[in-house]
Amino acid sequence: MYEVGQTIRMSVETEIVAAVDVLIAGGGTAGVVAAIAAARRGASVMLVERYGSLGGMMTSGNAGLTMYTKFSGNLLENTKDHKTLATNPAELQIAGGITRELTNRILAEGAGIGNSGTFGRYVFTSAEDFKRIIFQMLKEAGVKLRLHSWVVDVIQENGELKALVLESKSGRQAIVARQFIDATGDGDVAARAGVPYYCGVTPEDLCAKETKIGVMQSMGVMFKVGNVDLQATFDWLAENPDRFEMQAFARFTLAEARERFAKGEMGTLEIRMDGSPSSIQVYNLPSAGVVTLCCPSVQGNGCNVEDLTRAEVIMADMVGRWLVNIKKAIPGFQNAFLLDCPEIGVRETRHILGDYVMNIEDMYHQKKFEDCIGFGSHPIDTHPRPEWLKDPETAYPPHWYFQIPFRSLTTRGKTNLLTAGRCISATHEAAGSIRVTVECMITGEAAGTAAALCAKANIPLRELDYVKLRATLRESGTLC
């Protein structure tokens, strides 16, 4: 008789079906860019993804691409930055390489909208067009794909990964590789390989003095609605400016947001409401009358199936109630209807430990690293924040950005496994700036480039010369 809690040992035959130089798990923004980067460096590459499409939060979560430019919290400096973006964007943009190329392709095809004809704080896209463009770029690079496949185990010897074990409709299969990249977001590969990690708040976080170790950022959804007259909303806000709230990271004034929207650009804003929600973030999209709204949230552990299940049920109800209230409260939304409520979005789970753990002070004080492989510029987005970070108007110096070290992509005890995206080696507070989409792409390009160089030279990751890696990234425009 079987009982709850009992362990059943099973033997499953596993066939090796492919062998490549670089194997990447996770087809979100980090994994996609990692795959393109590795393939362009001459490596044979396979990208494994559990869904039938790629792009992660961008295509299945209604998120936007952010953050491309140096950050100025002060409104005067921020306005200057937007003028600079129109005249000399390279002075502000921190994202180059494949991230720049992919974004320019999206904008050129009308599949996304930015500001001043380029990418600024945000680019929101047509999810279906983005899916198509990703498939095209992977095909052009020669990346092999394996969709609808979950990584369920690893095969390793003496700290070296040999293969990933996948489960799909075809059964259980294995892919052999020389170098591996974990871009799963939750660090699933690294965790199964036995790499140590923290979940949520770590003992090294400043907030650990007032927050329980292990507490994670809330999960949430960005839901999409149609039949919205956003011009009517802006006209109403002009007459009721007390209802307008500046979106924390785009930092448009009402006049700026209204002007941008009129030009067909991103006009990100936040609207105050009475009741639930107390405020709602609004992101306009390339399709007229369609917007993404943010963000109902629920607490839970994104690596716990019971928490995920509970969150989905709560979120379905919450989004329904929010939309009823929004339609009643905001002119321009009276006839809106729900187009898409994606599965729960997970902001934070495992922080896989690498050779260096990035922390909030590294970022805020713009620490320089000899192994810097790219930059980030998203303001620190965790709660509670230190007192000195609570007001973006005064907290950040003009044109703030930070460096990301290669040692935060390595994994402790493993010779051929890198991380990319939100699971890289960082504290809870630092991860609030790394988890966003553009920063994920930046770490993805570095991981893919490093893995290809090591595979071609037949060396373990820690024998890779930082100088050579940085020179290669500079050559491709990633280190701009």
Domain boundary among 308, 340, 372: 340
Q: What is the CA 203 to chain-centroid distance, rounded?
A: 24
Cα–Cα distance for residue pair 295/220, rounded to 1 Å: 6
81, containing H or E segment: helix 75-87
Per-position DSSP letters for 244-313, written without gaps between them: EE--TTT---HHHHHHHHHTTS---EEEE-SSSSSEEEEEE-SSTT-EEEE--EE---TT-HHHHHHHHH
pLDDT at 221 over 80: yes
Chain centroid to CA 42: how far? Answer: 26
Domain holding 444, by residue range, is 13-211+348-480
Alpha-carbon span 54 to 11, nearest angstrom: 32
Is the per-residue pLDDT at 81 higher than 90?
yes
pLDDT of residue 197: 98
Kindly state whether residues 18 and 163 are assigned to the same domain.
yes
The pLDDT, as a whole number, for residue 69 is: 97
Judge if the upstream peptide bond of residue 277 is cis by omega within 30 degrees of 0: yes
Strands 279-284 and 269-272, how do they pair? antiparallel
Phi, psi of 325 (to 5 degrees): -70, -40
- Number of Cβ within a 10 Å radius of residue 286: 18
Mean pLDDT (the chain) is 96
Residues 6+ apart with CB under 8 A from 390: none
pLDDT for 6 equals: 83
Whether 320 shows a pLDDT value over 90: the answer reads: yes
Based on the fold, state whether residues 312 and 386 are members of the same structural domain: no
Q: What is the largest CA-CA distance in the chain?
A: 73
Residue linked to tokens 């993805």: 444
Last residue of a domain, one of 287, 308, 340: 340
Of the candidates 368, 348, 374, the one whose C-alpha atom is nearest the C-alpha of residue 430 is 348
Lowest mean pLDDT among 219-228, 263-272, 390-399: 390-399
Is residue 1 domain-resident?
no
262/388 same-domain check: no
- Per-residue pLDDT for 475 more than 90? yes
Same domain assignment for residues 176 and 102: yes
For the cut 80, the answer to whether the pLDDT of residue 480 exceeds it is: no
Task: Report which of 381, 446, 392 is spatially closest to residue 419, judged by C-alpha positions.
Answer: 446
Beta bridge partners of 36: none
Whether 386 shows a pLDDT value over 90: the answer reads no
Length of the chain: 480
pLDDT for 293-311, tens place per residue?
999 999 999 999 999 999 9
Q: What is the pLDDT of residue 336?
A: 98
- Identity (one letter) of the amino acid at 360? I
Domain CATH for 96: 3.50.50.60
* 410 has pLDDT over 90: yes
> Are residues 285 and 147 part of one domain?
no
Q: Check whether 207 has a pLDDT greater than 80.
A: yes
Residue 2 belongs to some domain of the structure: no
Dump pLDDT digits (tens) for 94-146: 999 999 999 999 999 999 999 999 999 999 999 999 999 999 999 999 999 99
% of the chain with per-residue pLDDT over 70: 100
For residue 387, the model assigns a pLDDT of 84
Same domain, 242 and 319: yes
Kindly state whether residues 319 and 359 are assigned to the same domain: no
Q: Please report which confidence band the pLDDT of residue 461 belongs to, taking 50, 70 and 90 as the band edges.
A: very high
Question: Both 189 and 286 in a single domain?
Answer: no
Give yes or no for a contact between 107 and 415, defined as CB atoms under 8 angstroms apart. Answer: no
Res. 276: pLDDT tops 90: no
pTM of the shown model:
0.97
DSSP at 356: S
Q: Please check whether residues 264 and 126 belong to one and the same domain.
A: no
Give the whole-angstrom CA distance, residue 159 versus residue 461.
Answer: 12
Domain final residue, candidates 307, 340, 373: 340
Q: Which residues pair with 71 in a beta bridge?
A: 400
Is residue 54 scored above 90 in pLDDT? yes
DSSP 375-436: EE-PPP--SSPPGGGS-HHHHSPTTB-EEEEGGGTB-TT-SSEEE-STTSSB-HHHHHHHSS
Over range 28-33, report the average pLDDT: 98
pLDDT for 223 beyond 80: yes
What pLDDT is stored for residue 383 in this prediction?
85
Give the H or E element holding residue 61.
Answer: none
Does residue 203 carry a pLDDT above 80?
Answer: yes
* 223 secondary structure, DSSP code: E
- The answer to whether residue 275 scores a pLDDT higher than 90 is no
Quickly state the pLDDT bin for 456 (edges 50, 70, 90): very high
Where residue 214 falls (left for φ over 0; alpha for ψ -120 to 50; beta otherwise) is left
Judged by DSSP in three states, 11 sits in coil
Mean pLDDT of 78-83: 93
Q: Are 392 and 312 within one domain?
A: no
Which residues make Cβ contacts (< 8 Å) with residue 213, sequence separation at least 6?
A: 200, 201, 202, 203
- Indicate whether 43 pLDDT > 90: yes
Of the pLDDT bands very low, low, confident and very high (cuts 50, 70, 90), residue 422 is very high
Both 262 and 395 in one domain: the answer is no
pLDDT in tens, 166-176: 999 999 999 99
Residue 161: beta bridge partners?
156
Indicate the residue type of 156: Q
Domain-embedded: residue 7: no
278, 283, 308, 309: which is closest to 296 by C-alpha? 278
Listed range (60-69, 214-223, 381-390, 406-415) with the worst mean pLDDT: 381-390
Is the pLDDT at 362 greater than 80? The verdict is: yes
Same domain for 31 and 168?
yes
Q: What is the pLDDT of residue 385?
A: 84
Q: Say yes or no to pLDDT of 1 above 80.
A: no
Instruction: Give how many domains the chain has, as a whole number.
Output: 2
In a domain, 205, yes or no: yes
Give 92-144 as a DSSP string.
Answer: TB---HHHHHHHHHHHHTTSEE-BTTB--S-BEE-HHHHHHHHHHHHHHHT-E
